[in-house]
Structure 1
């Protein structure tokens, strides 16, 4: 129930009935409610279960990872992806691991258990997706809510890219990694993903800057 109004409006425009879970339980509450509804009436619902569906990371293994190597090739030194369902990070990382040269793969996640980066998971305090393999990332990089939100603003204002907060978190993590490399006198080519649109998150709370995390 705590998703943005624009997101609710977009969903209802497709003729859907919205069923709300407890907003204090976040996405985990929604997962539990969906599982309950499906268990009670399996013939009524189709449950894609992107947190457990192997097609999720497989799409990125066959698609995203291949596309990155085709476009960037041997220049890429690091890959950064935030953890939500973890499909992007898992599938792409597996594909990049097969490259003939070492590519450092970093998973970003919300810094706080109670956070405002919608769609992302703080793994230690959340239902862990079955498709998530904690041994795959070379590093877990924490990103604060403010860093993700502020970066999405910056990308719109300075780059003309209207992306959402999870994309902001990805870029914030990639930039933090780049600064760390620079501080050590190293160079690199860091690739990340802009995975969502800004229009899903428009809300007065955002623009008034009164949010507290």
Structure 2
């Protein structure tokens, strides 16, 4: 019996062989009055569910060829999830053990899928500086040292990462557009996709294709101060205690012609529109990338063709960007319209334009006492230079005057850290916020678009309901 031809029948010998050749889909409704053509490359249609399948396969093959990874070996990676998913899926078909180290803010869905592939998931705190023993990379490298036959994928510095996109993603985009592409847009995380595909497209076009990076507003790639954002798997966070910030070797900055800095709220709004108007349920970093592509396209003419990478599916983020509970608690736009009174409406008259008083994490007890004053308690936030906005994800805990009574003025306030204060988002209903707060008394952090904008007493929210009923 003659073997079936993979080329003619679309059959493959393994999952690895099915990676790539994802479609381009034109955007038609969210483009509004944009004259340029905008295509989205649906990378979530890779077998492992993301663009990272390409890099995962490239790195694994290179490690096997070099002898770094041998039969029965263990694959170890530090990742926000998607690279781990690709590695775990491919490694499973090759008989490797997989260990994936992820930060605690990774979605529950990603961790569940990793475990479904048989990967061991190590969760470590996200707010750790480079070099800290609990930092992602530190944990992963320690595991590699302890486990015989272990190999560290190291996507951030592994040349096989951008090489995979130079060999596959770039050529696919060029062929699919018939060489008509004028602008290529991709998020900048490890830098592999934008570097590899960008290098190919520039070479193929004789330098005419412009490469645009999509970056969260506070990411340092685009000039931000490194504060945390809420869209996963893109950008570059910098802990204020990091001594020397090193950018990934997979990211070649000379390839990028410009960067669009996208706030979380813009990315999330785009995600919701794509699901409702284009039938595309996409992940958070796709919202960042497509928002950047739409910004770029608005400056172009009818002969221009923009291609943007959609790294993964929204199915991995149903508990986040498509959950009104998660969105509401952080003060982001909801997926549905609510008729109940919102927290913002209940606090009419409260100044929501300025962040509340806080205590920086590097303060002494003496300084903290002065800052707390007569307040019941204040949040302790990750200390940063300047007076930028307080991102709720960077609130480490709280401190009260009562907790400092017996403390020495020279003690670090971080040694007297209390539990974080409860939060209420401006876009959620007052009833929903009160139900979550339960019998909570005392200060509540009011959150708008992920940032702390006020500190009010829980009774203020409860009183607003009584007033409305009267």
Q: TM-score range by the shorter chain?
A: 0.7 to 0.9
Residue of structure 1 in register with 2:154 after alignment: 49
Give the alignment partner of residue 311 of structure 2, picking from 180, 192, 195: 195
Q: CA RMSD in A?
A: 2.4
- Alignment size in residue pairs: 209
Residue of structure 2 in register with 1:207 after alignment: 324
- Between stretches 87-96 and 116-125, larger displacement belongs to 116-125
What's the offset of the Cα at 1:44?
Answer: 5.1
What's the offset of the Cα at 1:10?
Answer: 1.4
Q: Report SS of the residue matched to 1:11.
A: helix
1:79 and 1:45 map into 2 onto residues whose CA distance is: 36
**TM-score scaled by length of structure 1:** 0.87
Q: Which runs of 5+ in 2 are unaligned?
A: 1-103, 219-225, 240-244, 331-449, 452-470
CA contact (8 A) 1:111 1:122 kept: no
Q: Report SS of the residue matched to 2:291.
A: helix
2:127 and 2:289 map into 1 onto residues whose CA distance is: 25
Residue of structure 2 in register with 1:12 after alignment: 115
What's the offset of the Cα at 1:52?
Answer: 1.4
2:262 and 2:141 map into 1 onto residues whose CA distance is: 29
Flag the 1:32–1:127 CA change in 2: closer, same or farther, 3 A: farther
1:68 and 1:134 map into 2 onto residues whose CA distance is: 21
What's the offset of the Cα at 1:153?
Answer: 1.9
Flag the 1:193–1:141 CA change in 2: closer, same or farther, 3 A: same
2:268 and 2:130 map into 1 onto residues whose CA distance is: 19
1:17 and 1:66 map into 2 onto residues whose CA distance is: 34
Residue of structure 1 in register with 2:355 after alignment: none
Flag the 1:135–1:43 CA change in 2: closer, same or farther, 3 A: same
Q: 2:263 matched to 1:144?
A: yes
CA contact (8 A) 2:214 2:260 kept: yes
Q: Equivalences for 1:59-208 in 2 at 5 Å?
A: 59-101=164-206, 102-112=208-218, 113=226, 114-122=228-236, 127-181=246-300, 188-203=304-319, 206-208=323-325
CA contact (8 A) 2:283 2:312 kept: yes
Larger-gyration structure (1/2)? 2
1:23 and 1:123 map into 2 onto residues whose CA distance is: 10
- Between stretches 96-105 and 159-168, larger displacement belongs to 96-105
1:16 and 1:110 map into 2 onto residues whose CA distance is: 29
1:4 and 1:44 map into 2 onto residues whose CA distance is: 30
1:54 and 1:37 map into 2 onto residues whose CA distance is: 22
Flag the 1:26–1:5 CA change in 2: closer, same or farther, 3 A: farther
Partner deviation per Cα, 1:67-113 (whole Å, 9 max, x = no partner):
11111133211111111111110001110111244011111111113
What's the offset of the Cα at 1:26?
Answer: 9.2
- Between stretches 88-97 and 146-155, larger displacement belongs to 146-155
Bigger RCO of structures 1 and 2 (CA < 8 A, at least 6 apart): 1
More helix by share: 1
Q: Equivalences for 1:30-45 in 2 at 5 Å?
A: 30-38=136-144, 40-41=145-146, 43=148, 45=150
Q: Report SS of the residue matched to 1:120.
A: coil
1:140 and 1:148 map into 2 onto residues whose CA distance is: 15
1:190 and 1:77 map into 2 onto residues whose CA distance is: 6
1:187 and 1:124 map into 2 onto residues whose CA distance is: 40
Flag the 1:127–1:117 CA change in 2: closer, same or farther, 3 A: farther
Q: Which runs of 5+ in 1 are unaligned?
A: none
**TM-score scaled by length of structure 2:** 0.42
Q: Report SS of the residue matched to 2:165.
A: helix
